[in-house]
Amino acid sequence: MENNKELFEHYKFEADKGQEPLRVDKFLINFIENASRSKIQQSTKEGYIHVNGNPVKSNYKVKAGDVVTVEYKNPPREHELIPQDIPINIMYEDDDILIVNKDAGMVVHPGFGNWEGTLVNALAFHFKNLPNMGDDSRPGLVHRIDKNTSGILVIAKNEKSMTIMGDKFANRDLNRRYLALVWGDVIEDEGTITGHIGRSLKNRKIMDVFPDGEFGKHAITHWKVVERFGYTTLVECTLETGRTHQIRAHFKFIGHPLFNDEEYGGDRILKGTTFTKYKQFVQNCFKICPRQALHAKSLEFEHPTTKKEMKFDSELPEDFTSLLEKWKTYATHQN
């Protein structure tokens, strides 16, 4: 085992105060996207998994308050950022920023066991010397969206822009709007969902809402109805905070999970009839849009250098538009 000065910290997680004792390999697989248990166990054998600063074996049980870090020798080959010639849908570019319309299914940045094929791999190929703010695996990134969420992302092209844009996202000094298709006929025309969001105490891969604030971080989502289809509703969401899976967790909390959101229970028929024809219709909808129906639609902010007000609006991807067309047709035939 090398001394700690020859290692660099790649992941860091602090166990919530409600954490029940759990093997460290099982704990990490719930936090690190696309990780495999065998790779995590191999990392523990090689001394790269630490708890409270000390290397542990894979059977170590993580307890409330433990700080778990994954630290590697610098730089192991598989963790080097590999530039890849992957197409990027660039909506806007100047000397300071890029606006990208990300496809659903593309992971934003490399991670444990998932070091290639990401947006950052593509950025590294198409753009040189993007700033990284201390993390070589995430050059240019000032925020992220989920793998299966499509839509707008801002990329910083220099350190000044990264600092300014990072502050804007941290302070919510911008306007982000999302479109989501949710299960059910939402009663009100608009509203606000408030509730702390934190890791689920039962399933660490997802987030839960803790309305009493006993866990998690304060989160606010504003929404309004765009169109109703009877058994589903298209809503526009504006985020006052930016928590992981915020829209997905908040709408599950109020009983309206996102359509085909596998992790939050939206991938089964939650509203509608028992007719076989309807069940087949919904299954066809799942095939058309094989992911959560969520798109980062628009973004408004003050340019980090020119101070000009910038407004960007992205087109819905084909899977989302086809899904909406099917629901519109279905709803029309029911009236």
Active-site hit among 25, 66, 146, 261:
146
The whole-angstrom separation of Cα 295 and Cα 191 is 19
Within 13 Å and on the Cβ side, how many CA atoms surround 267?
A: 9
The whole-angstrom separation of Cα 142 and Cα 278 is 43
The whole-angstrom separation of Cα 67 and Cα 3 is 19
Whether omega for the bond prior to residue 75 falls within 30 degrees of 0, making it cis, is yes
Q: Is residue 103 among the annotated active site residues?
A: no
CA distances from 34 to 112, 136, 147, 279 (A): 7, 19, 11, 31
Long-range contacts of 77-82 (CB under 8 A, 24+ apart): 78/115, 79/10, 79/110, 79/115, 79/137, 81/110, 81/120, 81/121, 81/124, 81/136, 81/137, 81/139, 82/115, 82/116, 82/121, 82/124
The SS3 assignment for 121 reads: helix
Residue 225, phi-psi category: left (phi > 0), alpha (psi -120 to 50), beta (remainder): beta
Is residue 61 classed exposed, middle or buried when 0-12, 13-18 and 19+ CB atoms within 10 A define those classes?
A: middle
Which residue's entry shows tokens 């590999």? 82
Is residue 269 classed exposed, middle or buried when 0-12, 13-18 and 19+ CB atoms within 10 A define those classes?
A: middle
Catalytic residues: 146
